[in-house]
Structure 1
Amino acid sequence: MLRAMIVEDELPTLELMERLIGRHPAFEVAGAFANPLEALDRFGELKPDVAFLDVEMPKMGGLALADKLMELDDGLQVVFTTAYPGYAVDAFRVNAADYLVKPVLLEDLERVVPRVVRNRSLHAALRQPAEAGEPPVRCLGTFETRTAEGSLVNWPTRKTEELFGYLLAHPNRLTGKWQLADLLWPDVEESRSLHNLHNTIYRLKKTLKDAGLKAELTHTNEGYLFAMPPSDSDLGRLRVCLSGVSKLDGTNVSEAEERFRSVKGALFGGKDYAWCAGASAEVSSLYRTLARMLTDWHRERGDAASAKELLRAYLEQAPLDEEMHKELLRLYAEDGETGLFRRQYESYERILEDELGIEPPEEIRQLAQRMKRERERDGE
């Protein structure tokens, strides 16, 4: 649950906001203030996670107040309220999570919740160093969950585990109850599938609590919202590792290598979940991005051996990746490793024939012909 501070100089609006936010299951009201200076003075004591600030206030406007509050806690999520949508540009100048146009309605609040939760989780993950050891939840090549003491979680039903997998793949996102019911029980009558969902939600909450895992599953009018520290799963760590990163340097390459090694196979160990295609494609894309960035890192430092080792490991899991096969074959060619080149090319050729019934692309075939001529010239 998120602790909320509300600052609004008009008392009727302040009381309305306090009721609206106080009734929402994702929030508890830590403090409500008509005076922004009083709110600033009490901030350190109340330690809110999110602040709802009116933009237009005497003594100190919401934008100035937000600057001061975020100096005290740079992880604070700020949501502005205003009668004038034109303030949106200024709101985002101070990295506000969102802004709401008065009068604020319940559906406006529902829209804000996923963004606030997502931003808070990401900020917390980025502020902490990478954690040593395996996370309690592993999804990349297997699907196993361990308690705080390290023992395997025994799921009460397969659907409970599948629901957990879906929520892990789609964190900090509101998902409607009917959507979840249809995903998990597509062939079951509607009222029955909804009954199944309620029972499964209950089992999941109890299992996570008994396991001592830091996970929150909140019910709102629009559906369910799941939040879990990204550091508690290998999938979460992989996502955070590449969030906002376009190039590796000395500060992040070790984490990138660790995350690359953590991908040991298909998402959820290849479990045949009907909804899993999109999440699996995301993991494949993240894994490929890591492989590309790490290969570039090693090549820029003249470490071709490490680049080749990494590419071989990647291609064991993504054997049809044309670009990465080209990269590995080019490295073999550049270093004159004709034997390794021949074996890699023949392996790729067989895979394409067996899986797709096609030949390697023209560029690779020409490179293979050139390497063959060099072998013949050198008498190999």
Structure 2
Amino acid sequence: MKAILIDDEKPALQHLERLLLKDGRLEITGKYTSARRGLEHLERDKADIVFLDIGMPEMNGLEAGEYIAGLDRSTRIVYITAYSEYAIEAFELNAADYLLKPVTSQRLSKTLERLEKSEARTESLPKSAAQVKELSILCFKRLEFTDSMEPARKMQWRTSKAQEVFALLLHNRGQWIMKDTIVDLVWPDFKPEKAVTNLHTTVYHIRKLLKAWDMEVLVEFSQERYRLTKEKVVLDVEEFERGYSGTPVESDEEWLRRENVLKLYRGDYLEEHHYDWAEIRRKELQVRYIRMALHSAEYELSSGRPRQALDRLLDLQAVDPYSDQICRLALRSYADLGDFIGFRTHYDKYKELLERDLGIRPDQVMDSWVQKVL
């Protein structure tokens, strides 16, 4: 296994190098007193293990660890610190292990044994397991992962903040987001240092979850920014947008194709999580869904399926209860069914809702039409 060493204290760097050379299990391919130079090494040449000091002035080890995980999440990090209070925090982050200074040969030997066992487990995993899976990320109604091989499998977020940070990165569709922006949106009431520490820990837990699900999704870090990239993962919002059409339905084949698209919409975008930053996107997708579903309802009415149209329109009215277009088509469905009691009851409830909530009445054209039908 290849390893590089990063520590701004030259004596500590040389001491660790001597211990590793004496042990002989690792090949040291680089040692640096600057975190940035160590990262430059990793950009051009992969390492299996990075021994990384936490307390460095130019860029501390926790920040450098974020960058390393973004470059290659298979690279394992052993954090080194002179302060024991950082040890637990380091271990909670992207750490294979941690070492307290001064590093002893006995403690280092235990770390290397742990790394060897981890390497052996990785090599023993079947390579074809992920090839037959279809992994999906769902954003309509609530954020969920699904696995076609294990339909009953449930995801477990470590914290609600981990869920929100992941949702925010996914929401931005591969665009870089400044670290400070994420902190301001997710931890607005925290002091900056505490918020940044929480972010580092949260990103670690996200990466750990993605690894457990064997998803080809990366959380990358560069120049104080984060982004999320994905491959071979189905996203319901993207599938919906790809199949969306805002034009009238012309045939049964087109109606059926759109039905499969509309079924993706289980509820509003991230509806159950109430993220303020998702509100504009939520409304945009809701408008598209309603428009597309209304065209399907109109086709159902024109092709003699008023019951099917009515069921759809009642569901739509739950999404947008004040829409006169939805109400008008629902009334038309009742009329086509010959259900004039249902027609009157539906209209009276709609009129009462407008007066109670908005202080208005239905427009005169609709009211005249209703009276004429009755």
TM-score bin (small chain): 0.5 to 0.7
Distance 1:230 1:301 in 2: 39
1:360 and 2:366 aligned: no
> For the Cα contact (< 8 Å) 2:269–2:282, is it kept in 1?
yes
Relative to 1, partners in 2 of residues 1:188 and 1:301: Cα closer, same or farther, differing over 3 Å? same
Greater Rg by CA = 2
Distance 2:360 2:179 in 1: 45
Task: Report what 2:150 is aligned to.
Answer: 149
What value does the CA root-mean-square deviation take over the aligned residues?
A: 3.3
Q: Report Cα offsets for 1:326-361 as digits up to 9, x if no partner.
A: 222234346654222112112212322343233223
Task: Report what 1:342 is aligned to.
Answer: 344
Distance 1:289 1:27 in 2: 50
What one-letter code is carried by the residue in structure 2 that aligns with 1:143?
A: L
Distance 2:294 2:358 in 1: 24
Task: Report what 1:311 is aligned to.
Answer: 313
Query: Deviation of residue 257 (structure 1)?
Result: 0.9
> For the Cα contact (< 8 Å) 1:315–1:324, is it kept in 2?
yes
Relative to 1, partners in 2 of residues 1:288 and 1:222: Cα closer, same or farther, differing over 3 Å? farther
Q: Which secondary structure does the structure 2 equivalent of 1:264 belong to?
A: coil
What are the within-5 Å matches in structure 2 for residues 246-285 of structure 1?
Answer: 246=247, 248=249, 252-285=254-287
Distance 2:346 2:332 in 1: 11
The alignment's TM-score, normalised by the length of structure 1, stands at 0.55
Q: Report Cα offsets for 1:113-167 as digits up to 9, x if no partner.
A: xxxxxxxxxxxxxxxxxxxxx9743332333334563411111111001112223
Q: Report Cα offsets for 1:243-299 as digits up to 9, x if no partner.
A: x76454566533421232333333334222232211221221221122123124334
Task: Report what 1:68 is aligned to.
Answer: none
Unaligned runs of 5+ in 2: 1-39, 46-133
> For the Cα contact (< 8 Å) 1:237–1:259, is it kept in 2?
yes
2:214 to 212, 215, 228: 212
Q: Report Cα offsets for 1:193-238 as digits up to 9, x if no partner.
A: 2222222122111111111223232223372222346962332322
Q: Report Cα offsets for 1:173-202 as digits up to 9, x if no partner.
A: 222222111110112223332222222122
> For the Cα contact (< 8 Å) 1:218–1:226, is it kept in 2?
yes
> For the Cα contact (< 8 Å) 1:219–1:225, is it kept in 2?
yes
> For the Cα contact (< 8 Å) 1:238–1:286, is it kept in 2?
no
Of residues 272-281 and 175-184 in structure 1, the stretch that sits farther from structure 2 once superposed is: 272-281
> For the Cα contact (< 8 Å) 1:231–1:237, is it kept in 2?
no
Task: Report what 1:113 is aligned to.
Answer: none
Q: Alignment length, in residue pairs?
A: 244
Distance 2:174 2:256 in 1: 27
> For the Cα contact (< 8 Å) 1:135–1:234, is it kept in 2?
no
> For the Cα contact (< 8 Å) 2:175–2:228, is it kept in 1?
yes
Relative to 1, partners in 2 of residues 1:229 and 1:371: Cα closer, same or farther, differing over 3 Å? farther
The alignment's TM-score, normalised by the length of structure 2, stands at 0.56
Percent same amino acid at aligned positions? Answer: 23
Task: Report what 1:193 is aligned to.
Answer: 195
Distance 2:275 2:207 in 1: 21
What one-letter code is carried by the residue in structure 2 that aligns with 1:174?
A: W
Q: Which secondary structure does the structure 2 equivalent of 1:262 belong to?
A: coil
2:176 to 143, 164, 174: 174
Relative to 1, partners in 2 of residues 1:262 and 1:224: Cα closer, same or farther, differing over 3 Å? same
Unaligned runs of 5+ in 1: 1-22, 29-133, 373-380
Task: Report what 1:227 is aligned to.
Answer: 229
What are the within-5 Å matches in structure 2 for residues 36-51 of structure 1?
Answer: none
Q: Report Cα offsets for 1:300-327 as digits up to 9, x if no partner.
A: 5444443333212221232222221122
> For the Cα contact (< 8 Å) 2:210–2:217, is it kept in 1?
yes
Task: Report what 1:290 is aligned to.
Answer: 292
Task: Report what 1:102 is aligned to.
Answer: none
Q: Which secondary structure does the structure 1 equivalent of 2:215 belong to?
A: coil
Distance 1:201 1:363 in 2: 56
What one-letter code is carried by the residue in structure 1 that aligns with 2:228?
A: F
> For the Cα contact (< 8 Å) 1:230–1:236, is it kept in 2?
no
Distance 1:26 1:368 in 2: 70
Distance 1:260 1:252 in 2: 12
Distance 1:135 1:332 in 2: 42
What one-letter code is carried by the residue in structure 2 that aligns with 1:221?
A: Q
What one-letter code is carried by the residue in structure 2 that aligns with 1:315?
A: Q
Query: Deviation of residue 362 (structure 1)?
Result: 2.3
Q: Which secondary structure does the structure 2 equivalent of 1:218 belong to?
A: strand
Relative to 1, partners in 2 of residues 1:172 and 1:296: Cα closer, same or farther, differing over 3 Å? farther
> For the Cα contact (< 8 Å) 1:218–1:224, is it kept in 2?
yes
Task: Report what 1:139 is aligned to.
Answer: 139
What are the within-5 Å matches in structure 2 for residues 323-334 of structure 1?
Answer: 323-333=325-335
Distance 2:335 2:154 in 1: 47
